Amino acid sequence: LLEVFEDDTNIYLILELCATDMQKYLNIRQQFTEDETRHYIKQIVTGIEYLHSHQILHRDLKLHNLLLTKDNNVKIADFGLAKQLITHEQTNFTMVGTPNFLAPEIATRKTHSFEADIWSLGALIYQCLVGKPPFDDQDVLSTLRRVANVRYVLPEGLSHEAKDLINRILQKDAKKRLTLIQIRNHPFLSKCLMNDRINSSRNSCTSLRSDSGYFDTSISSRQQTNESTLSRGPLTLNSLPPLIINKNQKINASSASILSYNNLSNTNNISQRKPIHEVLTPLNTQRLDRRHVITKSDIMDVLDDGEVVIQHLVEVKTGSKRIVDVFRVSSDGQKIIYYRPDRRQYNSYIESEGPLPLPVNYEQYTFDTLPEQFHNKYRRAWKFVNIIRSLRCKIIMYTNDGKCRLMETSIEFDFTHLNGTKISIYRKNLEHLDSPLEIKLVDPSGRMTSIFNYNDCIEQLNVPLDTKQMLQKAIKFRECCLIKNQLLEEHQAQFPEGKTFPAIFGEKPRSSSHNILK
């Protein structure tokens, strides 16, 4: 994963471009030799070991999600269904994955853990050697029945070691499956490869080249170099245009459309990620009223108890929208609950009153233990709350010149002059606490006239003298409100049961223009 950015409707992931995926390559080759399979499976085992050592359960291992680089190396991709467990003993109930590679415990909706990935590895080994998944059938339900009953057939052409490895991995009882260490030490994988880089000889290179079309054969200026290196170096896959891969049908409890993180294969990013307090700030809904907002992709609520709830919407084939997951954050931002609702039983609580009930199966985290995959959802919840807080008064102060308001964010501020001019001080980007401040000037008719940077010297602005004086007063009044806010925050910390905010200072000026200060 090279870069991530987003706009109002999409998240964009800039990924390393791999040459192809193993499913496309297998479709051309029909099946891999045992040496080729060993080459790939050894790398996949190493990748799974790394993920499991970081408590990450992939839950959707299949050839489509295994990318091949131009050097014929494997990278694990598509972490859209992955989950980071808090402890190695933690189990999960959610039914997610691709039917052909689901472990029996997932297919039968029982608890599952890291052994589910090992089952998928066994199905991968079978598919590489045979050319098709072991439980493939005419429809999803019959495939799941075969998975649940562990019904598969091993062709006669497979070696004894290959059959033994597959049989010992595809065990219905998860505890009886081989561990990753046992798989690595199994006779099938411990056999010496003909070459660490498969197909490095001229003959196999020619064969793969003619079979797949993925290898470089055309550019005359490189032919002589290629001829001289074929016998001593590895093959290289051609650089391909971006691949459009039709994913195998995924099945989960809510039939959700999942935003896939389509190549988090640079696993160093996992170990190098920043502490959560460096990338997120706990939200706080203290003193906020109930609020309900519907956007293009979410239903967003602040409930009576201050809990923030984001219900994510996706459009289904009928053109209607359906809720596919629910993300809930406590009023202090410290407790997070996530689940995918059962669409047969779940109704949006839009009109409901009181506490929101919990389903049977859900995931719960604290702010400090929130997995990185949920950071963006938390950030959206924080932004939603922050927008509301930026519009709600915390301190109101009347002066001889007009009315001042400091908002719940303790940053946003506005000053309405007796003549009707309004000056607002606000962050340029509400998503960031340290975003630069701007000053907006709106004349008595409601027309915005100017925007200045907060740090600009007022004296040097090209505006009339009376406007400069109003700007200077607005900044002075804001500083006064901030001092009052700090004192009141300390008071509330000492007497938390008291109601300190909103606080009002002074009284409305007795002027014929007082209606302006409503």
Reduce the DSSP state of residue 327 to 3 states and report it.
strand
**Residue 372, H or E segment:** none
CB 404 within 8 A of CB 419: no
Say how far apart CA 401 and CA 399 lie, in whole Å. 5
Taken in order 88, 94, 100, 105, the sign of the CA dihedral is: positive
Say how far apart CA 253 and CA 107 lie, in whole Å. 11
CB 117 within 8 A of CB 169: no
CB 393 within 8 A of CB 407: yes
Give the CB-side neighbour count of residue 28, counting CA atoms within 13 A. Answer: 14
Contacts of 459-467 with CB under 8 Å at 24 or more apart are: 467/421, 467/441
| AA letter at 279 | V
Reduce the DSSP state of residue 487 to 3 states and report it.
helix
- For the annotated catalytic residues, the residue numbers are 60
Give the CA distances from residue 307 to residues 127, 292, 310, 355, in Å, rounded to whole numbers and listed in that order. Answer: 47, 12, 10, 9
**Burial degree of 265 (CB within 10 A; 0-12, 13-18, 19+):** buried
CB 382 within 8 A of CB 429: no
**Residue 347: CB atoms within 10 Å:** 10
CA dihedral 144, 137, 244, 315 (to 10 degrees): -50
For the chain, report the end-to-end CA distance as a whole number of angstroms: 52
**Burial degree of 58 (CB within 10 A; 0-12, 13-18, 19+):** buried
Instruction: Render 72-95 in DSSP notation, one character per residue.
Output: S-EEE---TT-EE-SSTT--B---
Cα–Cα nearest to 64, from 98, 35, 107: 98
Helices (H) and strands (E) in the chain, counts: 14, 20
Cα–Cα nearest to 414, from 465, 458, 470, 460: 470
**Residue 203, H or E segment:** helix 202-212
Say how far apart CA 77 and CA 266 lie, in whole Å. 9
